[in-house]
Structure 1
Amino acid sequence: MRVVIKVGSSSLTTADGHLDPDRVGTVVDAVVAVRARGDEVVLVSSGAIAAGLGPLALPQRPRDLPTQQAAAAVGQRALIAHYSEAFAAAGLVVGQVLLTVDDVSRRSHYRNAHQTFAKLLELGVVPVVNENDTVATSEIRFGDNDRLAALVAHLVHADELILLSDVDGLYTGHPDLPDSRPIATVASEADLAGVDVARVGSAVGTGGMVTKIEAARIATAAGIPVRLTSAARAIEAVEGQPVGTRFAPTGKRRATRLLWLAHASETRGRLVLDAGARRALVERGASLLAAGVVAVEGEFSGGDPVDVVGPDGALVARGIVNYDSAELPAMLGRSTSDLAASMGADHERAVIHRDDLILMA
């Protein structure tokens, strides 16, 4: 069994931004418990920026990017040092893996990341993953590590994702309100109807319940169950006890490329379809041919991810395009045989092959 555990900044630090050794120790104990039973574990840990607040005498998480990056540069060293020392006491070796969204949105980077994780786990190393906040730009944004944890869970073919937070599960409203009720199981989107999750993150974190739910959606859609609970109950969670909230799988495991397309890719442009092409994609699972494309928007190259929209502009699918945006306008509305006759056999390819396309609607 392979487990991904994600812990947020507020679960690792004191109010003034210093790492709390006891809180870090609780997370480490949970990871050690997973390894002790013979399973593999990947730890996705926030906390670099938060851990830098105390040493830099910053009263709260900075809003400007340069100061965030400075705090991350100082805090990441402290964070991994604590983990290395704590895991070494249990006879485990730590491997630091710093990722940005780019590493899970570009196809070649995604493949390389998968190979790195596979080798680390094969060697018995505990990968400790964090957002590379020191060099990231737009990637430092609300809830990124929750989303990143879900993508990492799929990347390493995890059997379970455990999200550790500063609350002990999902509630129907703010946990402090007397009429809020805990939700033990989320089996479908219907179970989230009427749930108020408009709760911002803590002073040292960036996430909130909204990002936890989004991470759960990503993982469960790929067939990975999710457990959401507090860091204080981490041991109970890894032991399989019914703590917090369990999000049941809603979909099947799919090719890594398709999950990347659905949730991690930054699309470079749009292809607008006619009604017939939209039906062919949605109802028959067909490839996208030039004959059904009526407009090209944006600049992209062959191999880039693009959005595919219907005549009304609504998103239909996302896929890897086989042609540059500069050459597609001359191909629009033309049959494959016509393109091959006038432009060469190389243009017999589909604009997007069905194996490189995922429906989004």
Structure 2
Amino acid sequence: MLQKPKILVIKIGSNVLTKEGGRPDIERMSSLVTQIASLKSDGIKVLLVSSGAVAFGRGEIKLPEKIDPILKKQIWASSGQIELINTYKGLFKKHDVAISQILVTKEDFRDRKHYLNMRNCLLGLITQGIVPVINENDTVAITELMFTDNDELASLTAAMVNADSLILLTNVDGIFDGNPSDPKSKLISLIGNKMPDLEEVISPIKSSFGRGGMLTKTNMAKKAAELGIQVWIANGKKENILFDVINQKAASTFFEPNPKKQSTKKWLAHGDQYFKGEVVINEGAKNALASNKISSLLPVGIISVKGDFSKGDIIRITDESGVKIGLGKAEYPSPIAQEKIGLKNQKPFIHYDYLYLFQNA
């Protein structure tokens, strides 16, 4: 059942914000800003995750071909971000809407305290009617800690602020059962709770500006929907697309949400790239976690502990065959965890409230 958004995260991709050849599409930006301002006036709290810094920078600064690609991107991002945010500021000002700039890296989502500080800041901004414009800090992000693309950042942000809705705007109508450019391909308008595996039918084509592709969008949308967030993938190049998506008039792909999960579970759900250690558990512990009973992970069910971690760090849980079962927050550091392996009558290593199990486990 579709619900009217209360907290909405909108992600705008690079190809939505640029014309052919990479020049900024100010008219498109202006149209989207007008729609966002209208949604705000209707009582919806909006957070904007916007690509475009590198594309804007590329249009501003010409660099020699021989420059290191990472350095080239950093230069374009640091220059283009100024142009991007100033353009947004001017467009939103016409509607008397204040904005703020938030630049993040994956490290900001790794530490629970840091995560909560950022969450409180974002919630404070939208409570005051300010639209946060969020982007990856490409200037300082290193390759292994880069987001796959801003679809991942948008999904993380939606989980962080307990948003009920997420719209991913790209330059196609949604997920197709083949290459979107093939006339025979059909739009998949609804992806239900059971989340079918769509990897075989989704085009692997990536955009010329972004890092990700449609498969990334699908995976991030599925993860957000699993956490209880309603998600649309839609064509940001179309007029009035935000209005039409929310009013169910747009050609798009809608991901049906599961029941909502508590906020700590949402933080953990995206932690598979941020974990600091790993525990292997026995079959008895695996069955206990998978049962309908509320179960924490106890040391008696742990076979081995890997990694150097502190209390509060994210830990990955696997079975004896190496199958990933879930993620959790460590209740004590690795040296103590090592000492307690297999012992009975111990406090939980991962409490149920800080335990997230993968759907396919």
Q: TM-score, normalised by structure 2?
A: 0.90
* Counterpart-to-counterpart distance in 2, 1:321 and 1:257: 13
Identity %: 35
Whether 1:120 and 2:125 are equivalent positions in the alignment is: yes
Aligned to 2:142: 137
Q: Is the 2:166–2:231 contact (alpha carbons within 8 Å) kept by the matching residues of 1?
A: yes
Aligned to 1:309: 318
Structure 1: gaps (5+ residues):
337-347
- Secondary structure of the residue that 1:261 maps to in structure 2? helix
Aligned match of 1:179 in 176, 184, 198? Answer: 184
Deviation of 1:8 after TM superposition, in Å, equals 0.4
Aligned match of 2:275 in 257, 267, 270? Answer: 267
- In the TM superposition, what whole-angstrom CA distance separates every residue of 1:94-136 from its partner, at most 9, and x where no partner exists? 1111111222232112111111111111211111111111111
* Counterpart-to-counterpart distance in 2, 1:141 and 1:200: 20
Change over 3 Å in CA distance of 1:3–1:139 after alignment to 2: farther
Aligned to 1:217: 222
Pairs within 5 Å for 1:20-169 = 20-58=25-63, 64-138=69-143, 141=146, 143-169=148-174
Change over 3 Å in CA distance of 1:38–1:352 after alignment to 2: closer
Deviation of 1:140 after TM superposition, in Å, equals 6.5
Whether 1:279 and 2:282 are equivalent positions in the alignment is: no
* Counterpart-to-counterpart distance in 1, 2:84 and 2:110: 26
Change over 3 Å in CA distance of 1:225–1:59 after alignment to 2: farther
* 2:294 alignment partner AA: G
Change over 3 Å in CA distance of 1:203–1:93 after alignment to 2: same
* Counterpart-to-counterpart distance in 1, 2:51 and 2:140: 15
* Counterpart-to-counterpart distance in 2, 1:19 and 1:139: 29
Aligned to 1:324: 333
Q: Which range moved further: 9-18 or 300-309?
A: 9-18
Whether 1:335 and 2:340 are equivalent positions in the alignment is: no
Deviation of 1:317 after TM superposition, in Å, equals 2.0
Aligned to 1:205: 210
* Counterpart-to-counterpart distance in 2, 1:288 and 1:217: 26
Q: Is the 2:311–2:332 contact (alpha carbons within 8 Å) kept by the matching residues of 1?
A: yes
* 1:352 alignment partner AA: I
* Counterpart-to-counterpart distance in 1, 2:64 and 2:166: 32
Structure 2: gaps (5+ residues):
1-5
Deviation of 1:290 after TM superposition, in Å, equals 1.4
Q: TM-score, normalised by structure 1?
A: 0.90
* Counterpart-to-counterpart distance in 2, 1:173 and 1:259: 31
Deviation of 1:246 after TM superposition, in Å, equals 3.5
Deviation of 1:190 after TM superposition, in Å, equals 5.6
Deviation of 1:142 after TM superposition, in Å, equals 6.7
* Counterpart-to-counterpart distance in 2, 1:73 and 1:155: 26
- Secondary structure of the residue that 1:202 maps to in structure 2? coil
* Counterpart-to-counterpart distance in 2, 1:268 and 1:19: 40
Q: Is the 1:227–1:247 contact (alpha carbons within 8 Å) kept by the matching residues of 2?
A: yes
- Secondary structure of the residue that 1:28 maps to in structure 2? helix
* Counterpart-to-counterpart distance in 1, 2:33 and 2:178: 30
Aligned to 1:350: 348
* Counterpart-to-counterpart distance in 2, 1:25 and 1:192: 37
Q: Which range moved further: 126-135 or 16-25?
A: 16-25
Change over 3 Å in CA distance of 1:287–1:241 after alignment to 2: closer
Deviation of 1:177 after TM superposition, in Å, equals 0.9
Aligned to 2:3: none
Q: Is the 2:22–2:59 contact (alpha carbons within 8 Å) kept by the matching residues of 1?
A: yes
Q: Is the 1:309–1:316 contact (alpha carbons within 8 Å) kept by the matching residues of 2?
A: yes
How many pairs align? 349
Change over 3 Å in CA distance of 1:140–1:335 after alignment to 2: closer
Deviation of 1:159 after TM superposition, in Å, equals 2.5
* Counterpart-to-counterpart distance in 2, 1:263 and 1:314: 17
Deviation of 1:151 after TM superposition, in Å, equals 1.6
Aligned to 2:303: 294
* Counterpart-to-counterpart distance in 1, 2:110 and 2:78: 24
Deviation of 1:189 after TM superposition, in Å, equals 4.7
Aligned to 1:344: none
Q: Is the 1:141–1:206 contact (alpha carbons within 8 Å) kept by the matching residues of 2?
A: no
* Counterpart-to-counterpart distance in 2, 1:116 and 1:221: 25
Higher gyration radius (CA): 1
Aligned to 1:345: none
Q: Which range moved further: 216-225 or 79-88?
A: 216-225
* Counterpart-to-counterpart distance in 2, 1:53 and 1:350: 52
